[in-house]
A and B are shown apart, each in its own frame.
Chain A
Amino acid sequence: MSSQVSLIYDYVGSDGTNIIKRWLDGLVPKAKAKLNSKLNALEQINRTEWYWPLTEVLKGDKDGLVAVRVKSFENIQYRMLGYDGPSRGEFTLLACGTEHSDNYLPANIGQIAFGRRIEVQANPQTRRIRHDFR
């Protein structure tokens, strides 16, 4: 893994919708601000310096994915799953949800993320966009 910073990208659906922004826009302002604050910081520290509990390298059926972790004011554990790529110095957010007692919601968030990763890899120009901090 490189020691440079990683710019953060959002997954874009086949209809051009920024799926990550849509999910963030559905959260209460406090939770959205918390996640955006963390993403902003992650973009400015070397990728090798990302640490738990700010992020978590996932294993098992989510091997290869990294979760950005946030515990909200309502004790909800938000998770934004992404991967290092498609190019060096890039981290693409693929799927978002919540975690409760090691169970994700949606339960198939890993499968969703892997499916989207394939789409991003195949069409990096259209299927991802720089993270929108609005």
Chain B
Amino acid sequence: MISDKEHQIQDSLANKEYRDALAVEHVNTTLAIQIRKMREARQWNQSALAERLSKHQETISQWENPDYGRYSISTLKELASAFDVALLVKFIPFSELVEDMVHLSPIRLCPPSFDEERTRAISRTPNSPTAMDQLFNDINDSLNRHPHLASLPSTVGPYDPNRI
């Protein structure tokens, strides 16, 4: 189901100047937040990240400012390597932009490093949570983060594996 917010963003795209700016600003805002969140998740201060990249702390501060917006692809590649995550740069239709805008989940904003991801995969024994469990956990997490959704008329409730 498409949310009101998704509809509103879709409507706003009718203006060419606005949609061009929105696409740029979504990238700028999301990158700044991602850099900050990934740095904090690794418990690095700005100086520690700067040291890994042979940059000044002030540069990291700039990169974490959503108003900055002057990232080069080579800078982003260096950051991806420092955080040990992948970088994906590609052209997409505006429908995908809207989808990305309304689904900024914690994992999208702060992707795990290669090692973290691998550790999680290895720890998933046959008795560990399945992909479906993970999905329902994500739904439960969303309900906790958006408590108003739980009050909406719906058949969705807290996930109980024994209920299925």
Contacts and interface: CB of A to CB of B under 8 A. Distances in A.
A89 B18 contact: no
Interface in B82-106: 101-102, 104-105
Q: What's the interface size class on A, roughly?
A: 20 to 34
B99 to A, nearest CB: 12
Contact of B104 (A34, A44, A89): A44
Nearest to B144: A4
Nearest to A87: B148
B22 A36 contact: yes
A57 interface: no
B8 A133 contact: yes
B33 A33 contact: no
B47 interface: no
A133 B19 CA distance: 12
Contacts of B32: 54
Interface centre among A7, A44, A70 (most CB of B within 10 A): A44
Contact of B9 (A29, A130, A133): A133
Contacts of A108: none
Contact of A45 (B4, B11, B64, B109): B109
A25 B136 CA distance: 39
Interface string B121-133: 0000000000000
A59 interface: no
Contact of B148 (A70, A89, A133, A134): A89
Interface residues of B, number: 36
B154 to A, nearest CB: 18
Contact of A71 (B30, B64, B67, B109): B67
Contacts of B33: 41, 45, 54
A19 interface: no
Contacts of B37: 45, 49
Interface in A43-82: 44-46, 49, 51, 53-54, 69-71
Given A37-B101, A40-B5, 14 more contacts: A7-B146, A29-B21, A34-B21, A34-B25, A36-B22, A37-B22, A37-B25, A38-B66, A40-B26, A41-B33, A54-B32, A89-B148, A133-B8, A134-B9
24 contacts: A4-B146, A7-B148, A29-B15, A29-B17, A29-B18, A33-B21, A34-B21, A36-B12, A36-B25, A37-B29, A38-B66, A40-B29, A41-B30, A41-B66, A44-B104, A45-B109, A53-B67, A54-B33, A70-B67, A89-B147, A133-B9, A134-B8, A134-B9, A134-B11
Interface of B: 4-5, 8-9, 11-12, 15, 17-19, 21-22, 24-26, 28-30, 32-33, 36-37, 64-67, 101-102, 104-105, 109, 144-148
